[in-house]
Amino acid sequence: MLAALLPLLAALLVTAPTAAAARNEAVDVVPTATLTEVTDFGTNPSNLRMYVYVPDNVTANPAVLVAVHWCTGSGPDMYNGTEYDTLADQYGFVVVYPSVTRSSKCFDVSSPQALRRDGGSDPVGIKSMVDWVTRTYDADTSRVFATGISSGAMMTNVLLGDYPDVFAAGAAFSGVPFGCFATADGSEWNSACAQGTVSRTAQQWGDIARAAYPGYTGPRPRMQLWHGTEDDVLRYPNFGEMIKQWTNVHGVSQTPAATDTPQSGWTRTRYGGTGDRAPVEAISLQGVGHNLYSHGMAARVLTFFGLDSGGPAPQPQPQPGACKVTATTNAWNTGLTASLTITNTSTTPINGWQLGFTLPTGQTITNGWGATYTPATGTVTAVGASYNAALAPGASVGIGYQANHTGNSAAPGTFTLNGTACTAG
């Protein structure tokens, strides 16, 4: 018996640790409440350095915020110059600070490699950093965000264009549109773009962003834009060009849905929605130059992202005039998956949607994607996630769930969207 047990014991000793154990080991490697450099985090073609801040009270399945520095700066400079670490202490998310090692200390937002998904250069390294945090802390992949200042703002635009399936939203302080800085001669600087002389139609800008990930049809990240009217480095016309680009990417009107003045000298416009999580939010600062970031702005970023627990929930738009839902199921024995496609067939944009339907008798939802489903049986309400809350006229979103059944594997037959009855497809 002993001879038989020895091989078994040896096998147990070399068995790979459980996911929980692996996570705990990795967490022990990264001290909390201090900026820590992480090496060997994954594919890193441009030799970026990765710094991470993990709060003492990091939440289960935390959100991830990528905070990207300016030219001549570094990850530690971004850490010291902003308050995202103290906000992480308050709300429990993880902050990643990428850091450039090339001599200019500027991020690559101009090369062909940087301007396409998985093309190489800095975006690939930053994506590896996000993946490392996701693996290590079981991070919530639906709550990954990017923000940056100047060169970091331009990289924020690039990240959202290259990886619309990774980032839920971004906030760019003094940036330029995705692709505006593109060069073909190896130069990092595009003077025409910096001077604000590159002007394109909204459709052209949108097409440039969409070309980074050909064939992608999923939801697009929301974007918050900040710019000073007296910016003499990346001039103010770039602000309007970014608004063109991201409203087109989201398929919403360039006419603001709401305009207000949250602070003296600020003009805030929201597109495609009126709430704190509109598809596009733009803040113009009158008489302010390139270095516009100041204390307190990070809290407004968190409200737009939905990372502050005190932030308002997405505000539903008025009821749509018309909507359509198609539903299909794929069943086996006592289980099924259901796929739902919601289409806004009205002329009114929706920012924040809730889909109501009744499950057939005997069905119980066990998990879902694209929305939060409550309750698990009977009359269900599916509430959209932050990254797919906006539905422009004619736009669609796909969601789904897995359920158990006791014999009836049919799809729901009637639906309401924000209280309005929808046509069943």
C-alpha distances in angstroms, 414 versus 40, 158, 294, 355, 407? 51, 41, 50, 10, 20
Q: Could you confirm whether 150 is annotated as catalytic? A: yes
CA angle 203, 349, 140 (to 5 degrees): 85
Q: Which of 46, 111, 128, 150 is catalytic?
A: 150
CA distance 405 to 138: 30
Residues 247 and 257: beta-carbon distance below 8 Å: no
Rg of the chain (C-alpha set): 23
CA distance 421 to 143: 30
How many CB atoms neighbour CB 10 within 10 A?
10
C-alpha distances in angstroms, 327 versus 135, 385, 396, 415? 33, 19, 13, 10
Using DSSP bridges, classify how beta strands 169-173 and 280-285 pair: parallel, antiparallel or unpaired. unpaired
Residues 354 and 379: beta-carbon distance below 8 Å: no
The residues annotated as belonging to the active site are 150
